[in-house]
Structure 1
């Protein structure tokens, strides 16, 4: 969540102003999404968020069942939660539109679309959950692999790409190219069922509604991790399991990518991406669990905890209030307040102040025990 909120620092603007600085180029790359194939630190935000939904579920179910909640009541609550997440994602994507912008690629919408299925899987054994994960990944892979590649008369203008786009994949991997794949074809039908300002032809970033299916796979990986955390096992054994699982998943994703079976593409959440990003999620979990819970080094993490305790609020504040706060700073501090360290660092000064104010809002909520839950 901090990485997402920190987008206001706009490292890319600083990098553009200082083109000879490899330091700012490095930070800019890792605060941006890769164009298609590969991974940056920023690309790991959404899978980490989705993974943690799965991690939290065993604890949530255990707590509610211990309080006497019935399956029916839990299912109704879950379905309402799913609907709210979907609608909240649509609302955030519609903020700068003339009418409701029906799209489902927002992180919250993607989680909402798969959350009820995750809830149901939470009542089954790890074996059934593993079978579900395999079926999701293999089925999603097959849907793309069997979808026909663009022919000689294909309308690339409709797809919003060109046949010689530098990030296009070749050979079998071309089945996972931007806006010429199975999920794009589905959205050309599905998204046009809703009222729109204009006919949907393509998503500029290549994102798709159906990514919620493999995102469910990422949440299932989190479900495995949550069960391990909840089990009565020595902490060091848990860390060892997380590290081994993380390394194996990373290797699995890389093997699929390097052999050409399936590329690592976050924007359409390929099965290789589920494995690769899931591996990083397990390693991140091993690190934070080991340092904070096992080694008991907690004080340094307070800044992060304030954000994490109100993750939904943090998401909405960052997505919906950032521009308002930035404009307010210019009104009250003057148009040139961000030139304190020179023009190249203007966006950095502005972004740091916006980020600090957003954190203060979350800190006020934390101190007053105001936690937004769905």
Structure 2
């Protein structure tokens, strides 16, 4: 294992800072782990999302990734500027990337066929029920807006934009009235299926094209239209963190400032939570402050461990996952669907594998977690093979 990790670290440029690479790898690894349990009904609580208000470690994964997207925008744009590329070219490449992310999201939404149901119709049950928005779609939309902000706004204006997005979202959610199907007009609600963001999703996307299609009274999407605004703020917080990172070369001072900033952001999130409750599905302002604060603290600890004290071997596997984050996400999503789609007797291939594990391990949550680890191990084998061969899929 030590030799394996050393071989990965030896491929990195000698003076490369590892903190962002490893944090990206940790985040995408956690995302795949929680997305692929043996059974959704048998999971340890840290691997579940909060039922509605509040948060669990799982609720931090997606905003951490959005935060990292923001940091990566700063570093990649600075690199492209140094190579002489103008803003028009950078924006063109960014737009192409955003479109690719949207297309990949729709591909995953359509990549399913129920072979065990003779009445299943791919056109009626999948194509015409297409979920318009989703994880990759949100990343694409957030990425292109955040990229424009970094290209054309000063850091001070980016900070103001970040605050303004959170303020506008909070005020609208609290005070803008919206009609319910029964004719009542309400405002200021933060309920499942009953809030302004849900009303917008239902009105624009329709009940058949959102994740919570059966939510009452208003079907909605956790990666919905209006809640994308505060998600953009999450990316802008990552941009601002990376701006400071590029200007402050003293890593110890950098880590101290990040930890202090992160703690203040978390405190601020909790202070405003009575007005805007911490909620991932609504991506509330308190949730943005909490998650961005914890993200910047996490980066500071990664920086201290990996780049200041040079304890690096443990981070090597996450370098492999982080170097191909989108490929890893796509591979895992396709593999997960195939395991469900392939019929084996009266169950699926996933059912057969999980059933075999559950026979050996009778503790259901543990068996479910072992399935997740097995899924992750298979994924690592494929991603490591790509890493060794120099296959890096950049969307």
CA distances 1:230-271 after superposition (whole Å, capped 9, x unpaired): 2243101110111011011101110001xx221111101011
1:222 to 238, 242, 252: 238
**2:177 corresponding residue in structure 1:** 148
Taking a change above 3 Å as real, the CA distance of residues 141 and 48 of structure 1, as seen in their structure-2 partners, is same
SS in 1 for 2:238: helix
**1:71 corresponding residue in structure 2:** 87
**2:322 corresponding residue in structure 1:** 308
Contact 2:178 2:199 in 1 (8 A): no
1:354 to 358, 375, 393: 375
Contact 2:201 2:221 in 1 (8 A): no
1:366 to 347, 371, 387: 387
Distance 1:333 1:254 in 2: 42
2:142 to 97, 106, 114: 114
Within the alignment, does 1:252 sit opposite 2:280 as a pair?
no
Query: What's the TM-score once normalised by structure 2's chain length?
Result: 0.78
1:298 to 307, 312, 336: 312
Deviation at 1:289, TM superposition (A): 1.3
Distance 2:76 2:362 in 1: 49
1:29 to 33, 40, 45: 45
**2:31 corresponding residue in structure 1:** 4
Contact 1:85 1:112 in 2 (8 A): yes
Distance 1:82 1:273 in 2: 25
**1:158 corresponding residue in structure 2:** none
Within the alignment, does 1:208 sit opposite 2:224 as a pair?
yes
Contact 2:354 2:371 in 1 (8 A): no
Distance 2:354 2:33 in 1: 23
CA distances 1:64-112 after superposition (whole Å, capped 9, x unpaired): 1122212111111111111111222222233335216543542221121
**2:4 corresponding residue in structure 1:** none
Taking a change above 3 Å as real, the CA distance of residues 62 and 207 of structure 1, as seen in their structure-2 partners, is closer
Distance 1:227 1:134 in 2: 17
Distance 1:105 1:33 in 2: 19
CA distances 1:332-352 after superposition (whole Å, capped 9, x unpaired): 989636533346344344333
SS in 1 for 2:189: helix
1:189 to 185, 191, 203: 203
Q: How do residues 315-330 of structure 1 correspond to structure 2 at under 5 angstroms?
A: 315-324=329-338
1:339 to 359, 367, 371: 359
Distance 1:62 1:270 in 2: 30
Contact 1:183 1:209 in 2 (8 A): yes
2:292 to 269, 278, 284: 278
CA RMSD of aligned residues (A): 3.1
**2:20 corresponding residue in structure 1:** none
Deviation at 1:57, TM superposition (A): 1.2
Taking a change above 3 Å as real, the CA distance of residues 51 and 216 of structure 1, as seen in their structure-2 partners, is same
Query: What's the TM-score once normalised by structure 1's chain length?
Result: 0.82
Taking a change above 3 Å as real, the CA distance of residues 346 and 204 of structure 1, as seen in their structure-2 partners, is farther
* Residue-pair matches, total: 343
Choose 118-127 or 140-149, whichever is displaced more: 140-149
Choose 134-143 or 178-187, whichever is displaced more: 178-187
**2:156 corresponding residue in structure 1:** 127
Distance 2:208 2:363 in 1: 44
Deviation at 1:203, TM superposition (A): 3.9
Distance 1:149 1:119 in 2: 32
Q: Which has the higher contact order (CA 8 A, sep 6+)?
A: 2
Distance 2:319 2:351 in 1: 31
Runs of at least 5 residues in structure 2 that lack an aligned partner in the other structure: 1-27, 113-124, 343-347
CA distances 1:18-52 after superposition (whole Å, capped 9, x unpaired): xxxxxxxxxx1110111111110000011000000
Runs of at least 5 residues in structure 1 that lack an aligned partner in the other structure: 16-27, 156-170
